[in-house]
Structure formats: C-alpha cells, structure tokens
A and B are shown apart, each in its own frame.
Chain A
C-alpha cells in the first residue's frame, strides 16, 4: 500500500533565532532557511494542526520581555500578537508574578479552533481563544489555593518551567500539564480545578521522596490514538501511565544500567502506542546532561517500555557530548515517521527509518532549544 507523505518543514527554535529545514517529498534533501529573528531567543515554534498555514512562536530577547509572534502564511511573515501571556496584576501582599519567558505552546482541541495554551517561566498557564492574539491567565491553575506549593518558584538552572500541556482529543476539558519542578497535574473541567498526578514517580532529590507533588517531569506526552496512555521522561527515570490508573510505572528500569534512564525528551510513534524513543543523558554526579560516555544514542521501545534497544547507526561513535533539551526532539507524524533532534551545539540529526540510522542535516546553528515538524 502506498502511504501518502506530506511535505515536512522542521522549525528550529534557537537561543539566537528561528531556522527552518525544508525537506523534499522523500525527506532526502533538506534546505536550511533562515535565520528569522536573528538574535532573538526562541523557545518554541508550533504549527496549528487545525489551520496548517498558521504557526505561533514564543520569543524574547536578551533585553526585552517575552512575547508571541503569529504567522498565517507558513512562516514567511510574522506579526507580534496584541496581548502576550501576562499574569494578572498582584493585589497588595500577593507575590508579584511576571512572565519571564513563554516556554511552551500547545494548540487546543480540534473542536475549539481558536484555542491555544501557553506555559511560562515562572510557572503559569495561559489560554488564548482567538488564535493566539490575546492571552489570559488560567485562574483555576495560577490562582489555585495549592499553587504556591505546587509551583514553589524553584530556580533550576533555567528557571521553573510549565510545559507539556496536553489536551485529550476526546474531551477538550480534560487537560494535563507538567511543572519542572512541581510535577504532573490534571484537570477534568477545562482548567477550573487541578490535582497532582504523580503516584509512583520517584523524587530522589527530595528529603521525602514519597510526596504528592514536587517532582521533576522533563517531558510528558500522550498518545494521540490512545489518549489514556501517557509517557514521561522524568528527572528520576522513564515512566508510563495507563489511565484510569493514577500510578505511573517506571519503565526505564529496563534500560541498560550503564546508560540509565535519565534524559529530557521522549517521543512517541504516531500510530503505535507501544513505540517510544528517548535520548539518554548522563545524570550522574554533577549531572553533566551530555550523551552517556560521549557516545550519543537513541533508545527505542516497541513494547511499551518492557525492553529497549540502542539505535546509534550514523551517530558519532565517540567524543560527542550532545545535550538535547526537552523540546528538541520530535517526530514528523508521518505514516513512516521521521525522527529529529537538535543539540545545544547546534546540530540537527534525522532518521527516516524509525531511528535505525541517523544523519546530520545541519550544524553550526546556535544552541537549539526546540524542534517541531510542520506538514504541508
């Protein structure tokens, strides 16, 4: 059976601007475009699957505050939105929170075509109902009575981050999000109320590792065809959760002990909920967060995490100290999915055979923060 392939563009968000890699129909030849917004700090660029010509970009500069840009022509031109995410004005005696950067963007449910969500640093959840033009705080989360404990304002190396905002494709009111550091949280009423969802997840860095929240999820993903299945790459391992269970299972225990199960990103096969890919990093001693032993590899599971296989053909065999951040690995969602990751050293790597082999598409880019695939 012939499977129809869409044209793929990889959007690359870097510390110094936005770049794009455009593929030919077979994903063999790639053309690098850009930079756009040279010198701007770009945290996330995402296509709207409901309106494929539309993209949003989360940006700031070293000097200037955070904002969001929108494109309605596949990224040729961008316009700054009218009201970027911002916390409400603090009342007397309240912490005066201000968005330092917009870190994460998520399109809303297919039945809510104008809705987008954004996650920020410090942790905040924001919603737009007009395609990203105007953003409002989600009071049910940001002003939740437990919020000061859920989001403690911990200053991790890059600040506290709200990320991995997930919308259940069966129900626009069913949402998940993650805070690093804070944990995973769930809402079943469109964001009016939230509850922690961290049972079974280790928090080895806390005095009491058996806490309800305070965990460090690095990346949480939901399978689009089986939304009851979540995977999580955490500071303390790789986990899977099959709802309605509330208890995560540590599937990273099946990783080779010399590699461990620490990393930032986790990516799912678009059609097979049992297939996932991770990119392990060194989480020992002082947490180098580089590829283990200087030998980068993808690890793949084909059975929901019961076992993992190393995939490193084409990747450097030694002396390659890659760091790949949580938003910097993706699939293009094609029937035969392409996999891509970008390094903080400015390299983009691709596999079009489910991770079996890899090749470098681009090098010498600025530090890569995020990669996403847009289909045309």
Chain B
C-alpha cells in the first residue's frame, strides 16, 4: 500500500528537494524502510541505532503523533516527517 509522506525541509536533501513523496508499507517501520531504500541514509538521520525517533524529529500519522514505529498506517493517511528545533 502506498501512502503520501510529507517531508520537512531538512530532510529534502534526500528526496531531491521534493516536499511530498510516496512510500510503500503498512506500518511506519515499513514506510521508513521503503523511504531509506529509495533515499539512502534518510532513515538514520531520523531514527537512531536503537530504533528510537531522534529527539528533534516528530512523526505524525495524519494528525496524531506516532509513539513508535510499530504504528499501522492506512492508505489514505498521510505521514508527516517533522523537524522540531529550538535555539539559534
């Protein structure tokens, strides 16, 4: 199943500048794996080696923040990859 992924600007260096891409998968984990297959290196910038979402990354499925990567994603639900940073 394909879903729409909205990509925050710091991650668009991986998507060739695209703000929206499509990805295959029924869970967030599968979607991130598919994104990394197509855009190598992208996943590790968001997810650390212990499979935790990095501290300045937030992932939303539709309008709800995903607590972990096991969350299921319905085809009509967009995924938002957000970058959250404070300070100068």
Contact = CB atoms under 8 A, between A and B. Distances in A.
Interface of A: 61-65, 67, 80, 82, 84, 86-90, 96-99
A67 B44 contact: yes
Contact of A98 (B50, B56, B83, B87): B50
A87 B51 CA distance: 11
B46 interface: yes
B37 interface: no
B17 interface: no
B2 interface: no
Contact of B85 (A62, A97, A98, A99): A62
B57 A63 contact: yes
A82 B44 CA distance: 10
A158 to B, nearest CB: 14
B41 interface: yes
A65 B44 contact: yes
B54 interface: yes
B49 A82 contact: no
A203 to B, nearest CB: 31
A85 B57 CA distance: 19
Given A63-B84, A64-B10, A96 B52 contact: yes
B48 A65 contact: yes
A84 B44 contact: yes
Nearest to B56: A63
Contact of B52 (A67, A84, A88, A98): A98
B40 interface: yes
Given A80-B41, A82-B40, A86-B44, A64 B11 contact: yes
Contacts of B46: 64-65
B69 to A, nearest CB: 14
21 contacts: A62-B87, A63-B10, A63-B54, A63-B85, A64-B11, A64-B54, A64-B56, A64-B57, A65-B44, A65-B47, A67-B44, A84-B41, A86-B49, A87-B49, A87-B50, A88-B49, A89-B51, A96-B50, A97-B50, A98-B49, A99-B48
Given A62-B87, A89-B51, 12 more contacts: A63-B8, A63-B10, A63-B54, A63-B83, A65-B44, A65-B45, A67-B41, A86-B48, A87-B50, A89-B50, A90-B50, A96-B50
A138 B3 CA distance: 39
Interface in B12-66: 40-41, 44-52, 54, 56-57
B25 to A, nearest CB: 21
A65 B41 CA distance: 10
Contacts of B44: 65, 67, 84, 86
A61, A88, A97: residue with the most chain B Cβ atoms closer than 10 Å? A61
Contacts of B41: 67, 80, 82, 84
A63 to B, nearest CB: 4
Contact of A89 (B11, B47, B49): B49
Nearest to A80: B41
A189 B41 CA distance: 33
Given A82-B40, A84-B44, A86-B44, A65 B54 contact: yes
Q: In the A-B complex, list the 5 residue pairs whose CB atoms are closest, starting with the nearest.
A: A63-B83, A98-B48, A64-B45, A86-B49, A96-B50
B26 to A, nearest CB: 23
Nearest to A60: B45
A330 B33 CA distance: 42
B50, B51, B57, B87: residue with the most chain A Cβ atoms closer than 10 Å? B50
A89 B10 CA distance: 26
A65 B87 CA distance: 17
